């Protein structure tokens, strides 16, 4: 019984992780989130200009 509950929680966690990953990927494609995050790291002056 305990093993069944634990495995159910593990499966639910994996499904949730897949859903979150898919949602982040879709949002990233739509709004270019990673590009907005990566620019300040690579080019601080561009990041400051975007922030201002």
Find the distance separating the first CA and the last CA of the chain, reported in whole Å.
57
Is pLDDT at 16 greater than 90 in this prediction?
Answer: yes
Q: List the domain range (segments joined by +) for residue 24.
A: 2-51
pLDDT score for 18: 94
Is pLDDT at 52 greater than 90 in this prediction?
Answer: no
Q: What is the pTM of this model?
A: 0.51
Q: Is 8 helix (H, G, I), strand (E, B) or coil?
A: helix
Q: What is the mean pLDDT of residues 34-46?
A: 56
**Burial (CB count <10 Å: 0-12, 13-18, 19+), residue 26:** exposed
């Amino acid at each position: 019984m305990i093993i069944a509950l634990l495995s159910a929680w593990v499966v639910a966690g994996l499904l949730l992780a897949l859903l979150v990953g898919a949602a982040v990927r879709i949002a990233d494609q739509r709004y270019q989130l990673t590009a907005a995050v990566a620019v300040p790291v690579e080019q601080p002056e561009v990041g400051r200009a975007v922030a201002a």
